[in-house]
Amino acid sequence: MANKYEIGQKVVIVPVKNRHASSRGVDIQLYAGEVGKVTDFYWISLDRGTKVFYTYTVRIKTGNKEIVVHEDELETCTV
């Protein structure tokens, strides 16, 4: 499975609503709707490579801050 987003791509932070309550959920809510740019990505391979999960480092325009988000917490920015 290939990564969905590329370095330099503009994205929007969209927290997953069905995730269990955790301190991470509260943190990511602060950035909901923010536009940013992917600066790097990483993957974790499970089950001998049959399951691959991607995380992305995103530089948020507001406050010029970098955060790490899961692939399902991003959408392509169309603006």
Residue-level pLDDT at 18: 61
Q: Domain map of the chain by residue range? A: 10-76
Residue 39 contacts residue 62 (beta carbons within 8 Å)? no
What is the predicted pLDDT for the residue at 62?
79
Pull the structure tokens for residue 29.
């809510």
pTM of the model: 0.82
Integer Cα distance of 62 and 71 in angstroms: 20
What is the total residue count of the chain?
A: 79
pLDDT in tens, the chain (79 residues): 689 999 999 999 998 776 555 545 557 888 999 999 999 999 999 877 678 899 999 999 877 899 999 999 999 998 7
Position 24 scores a pLDDT of 58
Tokens of 70: 């899961």
